[in-house]
Amino acid sequence: MSKQKLYEGLLHSQHSVRQPIVESLVHRQHMAEVANLLAGMPSQAIGSLLGVLPIDEAQSLWTCLPDARENEVLWELSDALRATLVGGREPRFAESRINAFLLVDGRLRQVPIGGRQDLEGIKPAWLDLLAAARPERRYIGEHFGVSLPDPGQTTDLEISSRFQIDDKGSLRLRSSFLLYRDGKSRSIPVVFVVHQGILFTVRNEDLPVFRLQGQRAGSQVGYASDCLDLILDLYGADVEYSADVLESIYKRLGEVGRQVLNEKMSDEDAANVLAGIAEAEDLNGRIRGNILDTQRALFFLIRSRLLGRSQREDAKEILRDIDSLNSHTAFLFDKINFLMDATVGFININQNKQVSQLTVLSVVIMPLNIVAGIGGMSEFSMMTAGIPWPTAYAGLAAGMGLLGCATYLMLKNLKAGRKPKAG
């Protein structure tokens, strides 16, 4: 910007008829160059740059910022600088979906959070952050006095660090929730933070379990009394969701089983069956891993002595459901292994049939090769002296055909004699 200002100053000192037009073109070119540079810079760097520039240069730089990036940069500015640049405009929660749930008369009442002013004067029981950007998480954390990490960028090496109580007395859990959509499954990390009676959930993708939880808690009186009840209900809903997905695996394996037990299966059918079995195995393994993670989180909550008596009973009930699901997943693994072995067996049978056909063909052709070799020697001409060659070779061809048929019938009779007699 300093170089551009110097260049424009030198250009302004010159006098020509077309000087205003040239100055306008140069200025627009300079603004386009600045806009290109800003397009590749992170919002935090742009905010820091605006904070150190003189106010006139900051205002000029702000005009070069694309409209789509203004909101994210506003989160990085101080209140004074933001008021200078855009007046009373407040940053908004743009692409994220942040909802506050207030506990009113035993029910949860959902309050959408669109901006910072919506957080003023409320004490939610549950604050759900979906796809919140780093500045948004930072502001909400500062507002409530807690640190909210990004669930997708947790780099702790120790598994035990996923369940802990920090030095401020805040409960922190990091669990994986199942997402099954359009025949594909994924494990979505979710961070739970309980601080001063408020449950914070931070996630980057929408989950059916959280939608179900919001509907239940909003329609049933006394469904949840505090944030620990909400955590247990979320884990319980995740176990129910996993059970529903397990039912779809049973249905899928039933279809695969009917294909496997069919009398005839081509190699193409076997390939499709193996693909279906692999998908079922991957989904079953993912469910088993998720419910194991939920089981460990519930054991941690029970050992932490944070739960009341009724909450401990609820946690134990969820653990019993998990044990039931574990037996189902183990059964499904056994069924998957059986179907896999049966499919591989059909593939081996098809290959053996092909090898057997090639073997029969080679045995039938072998004596014909000998006869054909004799027919191609000079001795054959001597043996057929005086016989017209068309007749001689026609007789040779007919003899070879009869020999081939005889060899084939002999092999067929031998094969039929080896079959065990019924009864």
41-87 tens-digit pLDDT: 777 777 777 777 777 777 777 777 777 667 767 767 777 777 777 77
* Distance of alpha carbon 226 from alpha carbon 198, whole angstroms: 8
Q: How far is CA 33 from the centre of its chain?
A: 39
Q: What are the CA-CA distances from residue 181 to residues 61, 184, 186 (Å)?
A: 44, 5, 9
Cα separations in angstroms, 194 against 112, 126, 144, 369: 20, 9, 11, 86
- Encoded amino acid at 51, one letter: G
Contact 260, 340 (CB under 8 A): no
Comparing 340 with 380, the larger pLDDT belongs to 340
Percent residues over pLDDT 70 in the chain:
74
pLDDT band of residue 157 (cuts 50, 70, 90) is very low
pLDDT exceeds 70 at position 6: no
Between the CA of residue 351 and those of 262, 344, 345, what are the distances in Å?
17, 11, 10
Q: Is the pLDDT of residue 152 over 90?
A: no
The dihedrals phi and psi of 29, each to the nearest 5 degrees, come to: -65, -40
* Residue 133 binned pLDDT confidence (cut-offs 50, 70, 90): confident
3-state secondary structure at position 92: strand
Contact present, 303 and 251 (Cβ < 8 Å): no
Banded model confidence at residue 192, pLDDT cuts 50, 70, 90: very high
**Spatial separation of the C-alpha atoms in residues 375 and 370, rounded to whole Å:** 9
Hey, how many other C-beta atoms are within 10 angstroms of the C-beta on 94? 15
Cα distance between residue 66 and residue 396, in whole Å: 90
Instruction: Give the residue-averaged pLDDT of 83-111.
Output: 75
The rounded Cα 280 to chain-centroid distance in angstroms is 15
Structural contact between residues 168 and 185, judged by C-beta atoms closer than 8 angstroms? no
Per-residue confidence band for 417, with pLDDT thresholds at 50, 70 and 90: low
Instruction: Please give the mean pLDDT across all residues of the chain.
Output: 77
> Element (H or E) spanning 173, and its range?
strand 171-181
Pairing of strands 107-113, 126-130: unpaired
pLDDT digits (tens, 9 = 90+) for 226-280: 888 889 999 999 999 999 988 888 888 888 877 777 767 676 777 777 878 888 8
Instruction: With cut-offs at 50, 70 and 90, classify the pLDDT of residue 423.
Output: very low
Give the residue ranges of DSSP H helices in 261-308: 267-303
Residue 172 DSSP symbol? E
**Alpha carbon 212 to chain centroid, angstroms:** 21
**What is the C-alpha to C-alpha distance for residues 251 and 245, in angstroms, rounded to an integer?**
10
CA torsion, ordered 133, 135, 138, 140, to nearest 10 deg: -80
Model pLDDT, residue 92: 67
Residues 6+ apart with CB under 8 A from 232: 298, 301, 307, 311, 314, 315, 318
For the ranges 8-17, 24-33, 77-86, the maximum mean pLDDT occurs at: 77-86
Residue 133 region by backbone torsions, left for phi larger than 0, else alpha for psi between -120 and 50, else beta: beta
Distance CA 342, CA 340 (A): 5
Greater confidence (140 vs 20) lies with 140
